[in-house]
Amino acid sequence: MAKAELGAKRRCLTCGAPFYDLNRMPIVCPKCAAAFQVVEIVRSAPKRAPLSRAAYARPTPVAPAIVDADLLKEQAEDDEMEDGEAPAI
């Protein structure tokens, strides 16, 4: 019920970790600190979307978003510097 406060549920495009964005901008993955690019799903807009400057902007690390309960348990055990799930690329 309190999901409105948590913002939208996101899934990190880099490490795949699910988290809530807390309605913050920019959205930064709390697990790997990668910037989350919001992909707007526009089906009836054939015109090409210009790349926004935000796509290039380096987001400054802000307060971490809330991670899913499962991840919170994981992180509580091995902090956040463990990179066992780090992507190869």
The site for Zn ion (CB under 5 A) is made up of 12, 14-15, 17, 29, 31-32, 34
> In terms of CB distance, is 42 or 55 closer to Zn ion?
55
CA separation for the pair 34, 86 (Å, rounded)? 12
- Report the C-alpha gap between 75 and 81 in whole angstroms: 9
Q: How far is the CB of 44 from Zn ion (least distance, A)?
A: 31
Please, what is the minimum distance in Å from the beta carbon of residue 52 to Zn ion? 21
* Nearer CB in complex with Zn ion: 29/65: 29
Provide the minimum distance between the beta carbon of 29 and Zn ion in the complex, in angstroms, as a whole number.
Answer: 3
How far from 35 is each of 46, 51, 59, 76, CA to CA, in Å?
A: 26, 16, 7, 22
Structural contact between residues 62 and 24, judged by C-beta atoms closer than 8 angstroms: yes
Q: Which is nearer to Zn ion, 57 or 86 (CB)?
A: 86
